[in-house]
């Protein structure tokens, strides 16, 4: 019998208990799933999330993998006690949600929706007709699971999409860039920029004052990646000078974003409370079960985290 220790936050337990048991049963797995582990050495798999109930993975000497419920792993890769294989969450419903969030906010900017929805004042303004999407270049920093899904969604609406990643990529219909020179090219053309990179020492503050200055005047920024990707002070001064037209931020250095933070109430910032793309238990349970099946069959795990890269 395979022992699964559900060590995510307790509020997740009712969402996963039956769904995960059913997903394992469908794959023919004989498992017990528990919310506690009196004998850590008997645990085969740990299901985890940051702020979960354990911090020390040392006693789980026979654990074959730690399966994270979140896509981001920055708070796990620095845990020195976590020596077991670590898998991050790649959930098809989360991917879909992110593509929807990005597309919605890109269209808001592209069509100038705020100008019509907010503060209707009885004045007939016929002076701003948006261009068609194919004339609005959008840049995406981070072309992994989520960046590629967002890119495909925007490409299907005819936006010219440019994507930047650490490694070189070739994606149908998307202009792909890598390296510093590629980043400069992308930033200098992106009228709307989407950040979908992980937080690592290399990506921290990557959107700094010098790089913001490369962007076209009035460019918009959408950050559903991680807060520390942006130098907050540099962004605020670019917003205050009008060089950056608006920013939609879903993630922050401190979450929840403190009530006194200047992003709240800034006329050119929209704050969303880390809701761009949640993990959906019904689809995520299938991903967890498939990885457990693979572990039991001696196959390679899916979505394994590379500790040296940090994502």
Which residues have a catalytic role annotated? 226, 274
19 touches ligand NAP by CB under 6 A: no
Span 240-259, contacts to ligand NAP by CB under 6 A: 250-251
Q: Nearest Cα to 279, choosing from 2, 3, 11?
A: 11
Instruction: List CB contacts of 283: < 8 A, sequence separation 6 or more.
Output: 91, 92, 93, 94
The neighbour count for residue 113, using CB atoms within 10 Å, is 14
Among the residue ranges 12-20, 218-226, 237-245, 286-294, the one whose residues contact ligand NAP (CB under 6 A) = 218-226
103 touches ligand NAP by CB under 6 A: no
CB of 311 to ligand NAP, least distance (A): 5
187 touches ligand NAP by CB under 6 A: no
170 touches ligand NAP by CB under 6 A: no
Number of residues that bind ligand NAP (CB under 6 A): 28
Query: Where do we find the tokens 């991050």?
Result: 88
CB of 140 to ligand NAP, least distance (A): 9
First CA to last CA distance, the chain: 31
> Based on CB atoms, which residue is closest to ligand NAP, 160 or 198?
198
The neighbour count for residue 194, using CB atoms within 10 Å, is 30
Among positions 8, 23, 65, 143, the unique one binding ligand NAP when judged by CB under 6 A: 143
Two tokens, residue 136: 């609005």
CB of 147 to ligand NAP, least distance (A): 5
Among positions 43, 102, 146, 244, the unique one binding ligand NAP when judged by CB under 6 A: 146
x/- track of binding to ligand NAP for residues 38-77 (CB under 6 A): ---------------------------------xx-----
166 touches ligand NAP by CB under 6 A: yes
Alpha helix (H) residue ranges in 122-231: 145-156, 179-189, 209-214
Which H or E element spans position 269? Answer: strand 269-271
Instruction: List CB contacts of 258: < 8 A, sequence separation 6 or more.
Output: none
CB of 150 to ligand NAP, least distance (A): 9
291 touches ligand NAP by CB under 6 A: no
Among positions 24, 154, 197, 230, the unique one binding ligand NAP when judged by CB under 6 A: 197
> Based on CB atoms, which residue is closest to ligand NAP, 276 or 285?
276
Two tokens, residue 269: 């910032």
Q: Nearest Cα to 142, choosing from 207, 188, 220?
A: 207
Rounded to whole angstroms, the Cα distance separating 218 from 241 reads 10
* Total residue count of the chain as it appears in this document: 311
Instruction: List CB contacts of 74: < 8 A, sequence separation 6 or more.
Output: 198, 199, 200, 226, 310, 311
CB of 91 to ligand NAP, least distance (A): 9
Q: Which residues bind ligand NAP (CB under 6 A)?
A: 71-72, 94, 142-147, 165-167, 196-200, 202-203, 224-226, 250-251, 274, 276-277, 311
């Amino acid at each position: 019998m395979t022992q699964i220790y559900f060590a995510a936050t307790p509020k997740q337990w009712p969402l996963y208990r039956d769904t995960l048991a059913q997903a394992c049963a469908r794959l023919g797995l004989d498992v017990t799933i528990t919310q506690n582990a009196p004998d850590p050495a008997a645990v085969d798999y740990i299901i985890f999330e940051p702020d979960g109930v354990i911090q020390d993975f040392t006693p789980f000497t026979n654990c074959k993998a730690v399966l994270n419920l979140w896509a981001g792993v920055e708070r796990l890769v620095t845990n020195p006690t976590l020596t077991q294989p670590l898998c991050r969450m790649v959930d098809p419903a989360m991917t879909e949600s992110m593509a929807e969030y990005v597309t919605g906010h890109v269209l808001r900017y592209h069509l100038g929706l705020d100008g019509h929805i907010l503060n209707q004042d009885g004045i007939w303004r016929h002076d701003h007709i948006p261009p068609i999407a194919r004339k609005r270049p959008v840049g995406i920093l981070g072309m992994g699971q989520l960046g590629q899904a967002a890119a495909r969604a925007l490409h299907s609406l005819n936006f010219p999409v440019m994507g930047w990643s650490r490694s070189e990529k070739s994606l149908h219909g998307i202009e792909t860039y890598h390296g510093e020179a590629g980043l400069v090219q992308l930033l200098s053309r992106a009228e709307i920029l989407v950040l979908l990179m992980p937080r690592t020492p290399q990506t921290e503050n990557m959107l700094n004052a010098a790089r913001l200055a490369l962007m076209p005047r009035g460019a918009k920024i959408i950050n559903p990646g991680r807060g520390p990707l942006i130098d907050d002070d540099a962004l605020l001064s670019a917003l205050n000078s009008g060089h950056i037209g608006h920013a939609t931020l879903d993630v922050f250095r401190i979450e929840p974003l403190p009530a006194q933070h200047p992003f709240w109430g800034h006329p050119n910032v929209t704050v969303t409370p880390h809701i761009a793309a949640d993990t959906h238990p019904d689809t995520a349970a299938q991903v967890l079960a498939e990885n457990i099946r693979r572990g039991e069959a001696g196959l390679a795990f899916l979505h394994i985290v590379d500790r040296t890269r940090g994502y």
